[in-house]
Amino acid sequence: MDVLPIFVNITSTILHVLPLEKHSYTCQTLDFWPSDKCDYGNCSWVEMGLMELDFNDQLLNNATKLLGEESIIRVGGTLCDHVEVDPADQSTSWGSCTCPDPADPTDPLCYFPWVGHGYPDGSFSGFGRACLSGGRFDILMNFAERNNKKLIFDLSSEFGRTLVGPTIWEGDWDSSNARGLFKYIKPGLQILLKF
């Protein structure tokens, strides 16, 4: 089979240029991946996921400030549909609301047990669930406030629904997780929500 090169001419017309000194659209994303998330032998998430990141690290704070006054912090990513929020839990690491035994928050089944172990049925991305504690959310809100940043928080669209096919969900969305987050947000902190 012969491969023929295809050339495409594209022309464009500039309708309007946004002055970047007035509009900064930079964004840093904080994902929920745990340290044992590896791709092709590269484990780049070690202590880099939202639940393990050191928000007092000077390099992280300096980099966040250098992104500009109007930059935003997006919280969520791939696993956001599988994170429950537990404002009552004031621990500063993973919460225990998704643990088989909440009294044992060190149980490996508490936090995305299937990361790196395949994709079981019953979860949209196949990694299981995890819990964002109120204490860890406080640390995140303080980081945003200290660096004068807005947060965009991905909300779960999966709660209350049932997986009936590889990518087909049925049932009504359970908004209690989102309501718990809304009630817990610090007054005055700018948080945008994304579904």
* Model pLDDT for residues 52-67, shown as the tens digit of each residue: 899 999 999 999 988 8
Token pair, residue 178, equals 């989102």
Nearest to 32 by CA among 80, 99, 81: 80
d(CA 24, CA 32): 25
* Contact of 130 with 98, CB cutoff 8 Å: yes
What was the pLDDT predicted at 117? 57
Residue 165 counted as domain residue? yes
Q: What is the pLDDT of residues 31-54, one digit of tens each?
A: 888 877 777 778 887 888 888 899
Q: Which residues of 47-77 are buried (b: 16+ CB within 10 A; e: fewer)?
A: ebbbbbbebeeeeeeeebeebeeebbbbbbb
Q: What is the CA radius of gyration of the chain?
A: 20
What was the pLDDT predicted at 105? 74
What was the pLDDT predicted at 191? 65
What was the pLDDT predicted at 80? 81
Residue 169 counted as domain residue? yes
Beta bridge partners of 194: 154
Residue 14 counted as domain residue? no
- Show the domain range for 178: 27-194
142 DSSP 8-state letter: H
Residue 8 counted as domain residue? no
Return the H-helix or E-strand segment holding 27.
strand 27-31
Q: What is the pLDDT of residues 13-36, one digit of tens each?
A: 555 554 555 555 678 888 888 877
Residue 94 counted as domain residue? yes
- Measured CA to CA in angstroms, residue 183 lies from 20, 111, 174, 195 at distances of 35, 24, 16, 17
d(CA 33, CA 74): 14
Residue 80 counted as domain residue? yes
Q: What is the pLDDT of residues 115-169, one digit of tens each?
A: 655 554 444 456 777 888 899 999 999 999 999 888 888 877 777 788 787 777 7
What was the pLDDT predicted at 18? 47
Residue 186 counted as domain residue? yes
Residue 88 counted as domain residue? yes
Q: What are phi and psi of 143, to 5 degrees?
A: -60, -45
- Number of structural domains (the chain) is 1
